[in-house]
């Protein structure tokens, strides 16, 4: 049986992700796909972010870890983690 997802409906905030995009940390530019639903960190380190409300924080992450936080920008300054993915 094949199911079809309608593209005219908004994604559920509790449903599965619809896209993954690599993140190039940038101090001046928001994520090109808009606000991410969460982040994936492939290589351990710090991730400096600006969240959906405009607040700035640093997330300390282990390797291969997901962070369920809405983020609009990942800053180059202060980010040492690698393998970053935006989850939409």
Instruction: Evaluate if residue 14 carries a pLDDT over 90.
Output: no
Instruction: Work out the percent of the chain whose per-residue pLDDT is above 90.
Output: 80
Asked, for residue 1, whether it belongs to a domain, the answer is no
Asked, for residue 4, whether it belongs to a domain, the answer is no
CB atoms within 10 A of CB 83: 14
Bridge pairing between strands 20-22 and 71-75: unpaired
Asked, for residue 11, whether it belongs to a domain, the answer is no
Bridge pairing between strands 38-43 and 56-61: unpaired
Asked, for residue 7, whether it belongs to a domain, the answer is no
Asked, for residue 35, whether it belongs to a domain, the answer is yes
The per-residue pLDDT of the chain, averaged, comes to 90
Residue 65 is part of which domain span? Answer: 20-87
58-77: buried (b, 16+ CB within 10 Å) or exposed (e) per residue?
ebebeeeeeeeeebbbbbee
Total structural domains within the chain: 1
Asked, for residue 9, whether it belongs to a domain, the answer is no
Asked, for residue 15, whether it belongs to a domain, the answer is no
Asked, for residue 59, whether it belongs to a domain, the answer is yes
Handedness of CA 84, 23, 88, 20 (dihedral sign): negative
Q: What is the pLDDT of residue 3?
A: 45
Task: Please state whether the predicted TM-score (pTM) of the whole model is above 0.95.
Answer: no
pLDDT per residue as tens digits for the range 25-56 = 999 999 999 999 999 999 999 999 999 999 99
C-beta separation of 42 from 63 below 8 A: yes
């Amino acid at each position: 049986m094949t199911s079809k997802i309608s593209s005219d409906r908004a994604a559920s905030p509790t449903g599965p992700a619809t896209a993954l995009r690599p993140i190039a940390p940038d101090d001046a530019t928001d994520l090109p796909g808009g606000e991410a639903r969460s982040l994936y960190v492939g290589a351990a380190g710090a991730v400096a972010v600006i969240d959906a409300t405009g607040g700035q924080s640093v997330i300390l992450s282990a390797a291969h870890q997901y962070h369920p936080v809405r983020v609009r920008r990942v800053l180059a300054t202060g980010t040492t983690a690698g393998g970053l993915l935006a989850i939409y």
